[in-house]
Chains A and B, each alone.
Chain A
Amino acid sequence: MIDLNIVKKNISNVASCNRENGEISNSGNNKFVLVSMFLILIILIILPNVLSLGITPGRTTINYEPGLEKEVEFSVLNNEHKNMQVMLTVQGEMNGSVELYNGMVEFTASEESKSFKYKFKVPSGIEKIPGLHTAEIVALEVPKANEKGTYVGATVAVISQLHLQVPYPGKYVEADLNVLDAENNGTATFIVPAINKGKVGIGEVRALIDVYSKLNEKVGSVETDYVPLEAGARTELTGKWNVSVASGDYIAKVTIFYDGESNKFEKQFAVGTQALSIESILVNNFRLGEIAKLQILVENKWNQELISVYSNLIVYNNEDQVMADVRSATEKVGALSKKELISYWDTVGVNEGEYSGKLMVKYGEKSSDKNLVLKVSEDSLNIVGVGYAIRPQGGKGTSLTTILLVLVILLLIVNLAWFVFYKRLTLRKGK
C-alpha cells in the first residue's frame, strides 16, 4: 500500500513551491502575459483535464539463482508531456530486497519518459519457499495543489511488478487453457501453455481435455500432442476438436500428465461467439489523390440481428505511424445475412507504395480484425489480407543443424572409406 503520509509531506513541499511561483507571476503587469493567461484559462476550461501516467515494463520476471544480485531498469512515461513530479516507492513481500536509487523525480513537458534502475538482491532463505514471490515499484504522480494549498481530485499511480520464481523440488507443471476458433461445425484448437516450474526436466508432458456441457454431460474429449519440457521452460500443447455441439458455454476439464504425475484444472469457454466475419473488400475506380470508396462485405453468422456494426480501417505509413483512420457509418446487419459497409479514404498526399493496415469490424463490444497490406498505385488499390495463420503449415526448409550434421556424417564416411581403402592398400603392398 502506498504510504500516503510520505506523499502528503512531499505534496506540502510542492504546494509551497507553487504558491511562491504564483506570487512571482502575479507581480508582472505585462498585458501580453495577462491575455495569454486568459486564453490558457479558457482552453483549460474547454478542454477536459487529463491526468496520465505510465510505466514499463509492467512486469519483470526473474528465475531464482542463489545469491543473485541484479540491477533492473524501468521507465516512467510522461504520456501527456507535462511538468510533473513523480514519487517512486517499493511495496510488496520482497520490498526489503529492492533498493531504489531515486525517490522523487521531476519531469518537464519535453520529457516523454525517463529511465531508472533498482537493485534487487535475492532474499536469503527464500529457496525454501518455492513458488512466486513479488515486489512492486510504484510510481505516483504527486498531485498539484490549488491556490488554497489543498488537493482535490483523484490521483494515479502505476506499478512495475518484480516476480521471482523459486523452483519447486522435483517436477511441477503449471498450465492454462486457450480455446481458438470454437465455431459450430468447425474445428476448435485447444492450446495448453505449460511451464515446468520444477527443478527437474520432464521427459513427456501431455494434456487430456474433456469437454462438458453446463448440465455436466461429457460432449467431447481431446488429447494434445506430447513434448519433453526442461526445467524452467515453457511450451504449448495443442489439440483439435471437431465442434458438433450447439452454441453456448462449455466447461473444459483439463488433466496435465507429466512423467507419472498429473494436475487438473477447469476453464469455461464459449462455442459460436464469432458472430461476424469479414468476407471481402472491394475498391472500384481508384485514382490516387482522390477519395477511394471501400466496400467491405461482412456476414452475420449469428441468428440474431446485430446493431451498431461499423468498420474501422487503419493504414500505417513506413514509419508505422497511423496515416489514415477511416470509419464507415453504423449499420444493422440482419440475422444470418450479408451487408456491405462503405468507407471513404481520402488519398490526397498518399504516395504510391505498400502500406500495412488493419481492418476492424466492430459490433457491440466485440470486433473482427484483419491485418492487411494495401498496394497503392496511380490507378489501383490492391488489398491483400495477411492474417496470422496464412498457411496451415510452413517452415518446410531444412534446419541448419540438420545440414551441418549431414555434412559432418558425409565427411566422416568419406574419410573412413579412404582410411579403410588406404589400410588395405598398405597391407597388400606389405604382403
Chain B
Amino acid sequence: MNTHIKIIGVQGIFLVLVIIALFIFYPRANVDVNGNFVRFNSINANVIVISENPDFSNPRYLSLNETKNVSLNLKSGTYYWKGDNGIIEGVKKEFVIQSEVAMEINKTENESDLVNVGNVKISVKKNQNGIMVGRIILDTQESEKIENVNETYVGGQND
C-alpha cells in the first residue's frame, strides 16, 4: 500500500513540476487593437504567428527577437494569433478589426469631392429622387469629383 502511495505521490510531484515548467516557459504576449492598428507586446514570446484562418493556414510570422513589441496595420476582419518562443507554442487567440464605412463630401466654392474616409473599399450609389443614377467604387482615401446638387450618395462595403 505504501508503494502505491509513493508512486501516486511521485506522479503528483511530476505533474506539479510539469505545470510549473509550462507556466515558466509558456510564451506570453498580448495584443492592443486600436482601429486598424494592432500592437503585439511580448513578455517572453519571440514570434507571433498570425492568420486570417482558425487553422493557421498561410500564417504570417512577426519576429520579436529585436524588440518587445511590434505594430502593424491590418485590414478589417477576424484574425487568429498565438505566441511562440521556440519551446512552447501558445494557445490560439483571436481579435476582430471592425470594418468602418465612412464618407466625406468636401465642398469648396467651385467643386466638391466625395472621399472614402473609412477603412474598407466602398461601393457608392448615386441616387436622385429615389432613383439610382450612378455607381462609384472608392478605395480607402480615394476621392471622386461630384456635382454638388440634390443627390444622395449611399455607400456600403464593397466585396
Which A residues form the contact surface with B (CB < 8 A)?
1-5, 48-59, 77, 79-80, 136, 138, 140, 151-161, 191, 193, 225, 227, 233-238, 316, 320, 354, 356, 358, 371, 373, 375, 384, 386, 388-400, 403, 407, 411, 414-415, 418
Q: Are A54 and B152 in contact (CB under 8 A)?
A: no
Q: Are A235 and B55 in contact (CB under 8 A)?
A: yes
* Residue on B nearest A51 in the bound complex, by CB: B105
Q: Are A320 and B34 in contact (CB under 8 A)?
A: yes
Q: Are B55 and A227 in contact (CB under 8 A)?
A: yes
Q: Are A154 and B99 in contact (CB under 8 A)?
A: no
Task: Identify which of A53, A58, A227 gathers the most chain B CB atoms within 10 Å of its CB.
Answer: A58
> Nearest Cβ distance between residue B132 and chain A, in whole angstroms?
7
Task: Identify which of B32, B101, B102, B149 gathers the most chain A CB atoms within 10 Å of its CB.
Answer: B101
A140's partner among B11, B14, B152 (CB-CB below 8 A) is B152
Task: Identify which of A79, A159, A393 gathers the most chain B CB atoms within 10 Å of its CB.
Answer: A159
Can you list 28 contacts pairing A with B, beta carbon distance less than 8 Å?
A: A1-B130, A1-B131, A49-B106, A49-B107, A52-B104, A53-B103, A56-B98, A56-B99, A77-B100, A153-B150, A154-B114, A154-B150, A154-B151, A156-B114, A156-B155, A193-B53, A233-B55, A235-B53, A238-B57, A320-B39, A354-B69, A386-B66, A390-B61, A396-B86, A397-B84, A397-B85, A403-B88, A414-B11
Q: Are A394 and B150 in contact (CB under 8 A)?
A: no
* Residue on A nearest B142 in the bound complex, by CB: A365
Q: Does B67 contact A (CB under 8 A)?
A: yes
Known: A158-B103, A386-B62, A389-B60; 20 extra A-B contacts, CB below 8 A, are A3-B130, A48-B107, A51-B107, A58-B122, A77-B100, A136-B156, A138-B154, A156-B103, A157-B152, A227-B55, A236-B51, A356-B39, A371-B73, A373-B66, A386-B67, A386-B70, A395-B49, A397-B27, A400-B26, A414-B11
Q: Are A52 and B61 in contact (CB under 8 A)?
A: no
* Residue on B nearest A394 in the bound complex, by CB: B61
Which B residues form the contact surface with A (CB < 8 A)?
7, 11, 14-15, 18, 22, 26-27, 32, 34, 37, 39, 47, 49, 51-55, 57-63, 66-73, 76, 82, 84-91, 98-108, 112, 114, 117-118, 120, 122, 127, 129-132, 146-157
9 A-B pairs closest in CB distance = A54-B102, A394-B61, A159-B156, A58-B99, A356-B71, A58-B157, A236-B58, A390-B63, A49-B107
Q: How far is the CA of A161 from the CA of B122 in the complex (A)?
A: 12
Q: Are B98 and A57 in contact (CB under 8 A)?
A: yes
Contacts of B127 in A (CB 8 A): 1-2, 4
Q: How far is the CA of A51 from the CA of B152 in the complex (A)?
A: 12
Contacts of A5 in B (CB 8 A): 130
Contacts of A58 in B (CB 8 A): 76, 98-101, 118, 120, 122, 156-157
Contacts of A393 in B (CB 8 A): 61
Q: Are A53 and B106 in contact (CB under 8 A)?
A: no
Contacts of A55 in B (CB 8 A): 100-102
Contacts of A386 in B (CB 8 A): 62-63, 66-67, 70, 72
Q: Are B102 and A418 in contact (CB under 8 A)?
A: no
Q: Are B47 and A1 in contact (CB under 8 A)?
A: no
> Nearest Cβ distance between residue B140 and chain A, in whole angstroms?
11
